Copies of this chain bind each other. A is one copy, B any other.
């Protein structure tokens, strides 16, 4: 299989944004992508990046990406790896590219001393769910994800009367 996986560079930013938009469209939220190339460069390619990215190429062409960062488990006392985005071009699915990306992310997690690899999947995305079960993933269905966005976040923050970040 002529698939290679490599870390993304600044030159990949336009392609990364295309992948992000294609994944959002697949996830039925095409209008949700506000990110710009400048955002992705500032946040992923500076001295203290908020994210890391792998690019998969198939026969020399961009085929997919995996975008991740590190979280922390206070139970394990070790970092974890969180896979924010995993995407393969629809016409290149079924060739093992998604699995190769996931395996590479797992290798990075182990290399960095992470105790676990975590991500999220939409409940209707049966092909992805079946794929994840096949690689030994567990579903943490007793945990509900909670989010405070935009205006509600501002309201909550104002009540604090100033930040005291370390």
Binding site for B on A (CB under 8 A): 5-8, 20, 24, 29, 32-36, 39-40, 43, 48, 50-54, 67, 69-79, 82, 84-85, 100, 102-104, 106-112, 114-124, 129, 132, 135-150, 152-166
Residues of B near A104 (CB, < 8 A) are: 160, 163-164
Q: Is the CB of B84 within 8 A of A74?
A: yes
22 inter-chain pairs at a CB distance below 8 angstroms, sorted by A residue, are A6-B164, A20-B74, A34-B76, A34-B77, A50-B79, A54-B164, A106-B157, A107-B158, A108-B165, A116-B147, A117-B153, A118-B147, A119-B146, A120-B146, A123-B142, A136-B155, A137-B146, A138-B149, A139-B145, A140-B144, A140-B147, A143-B145
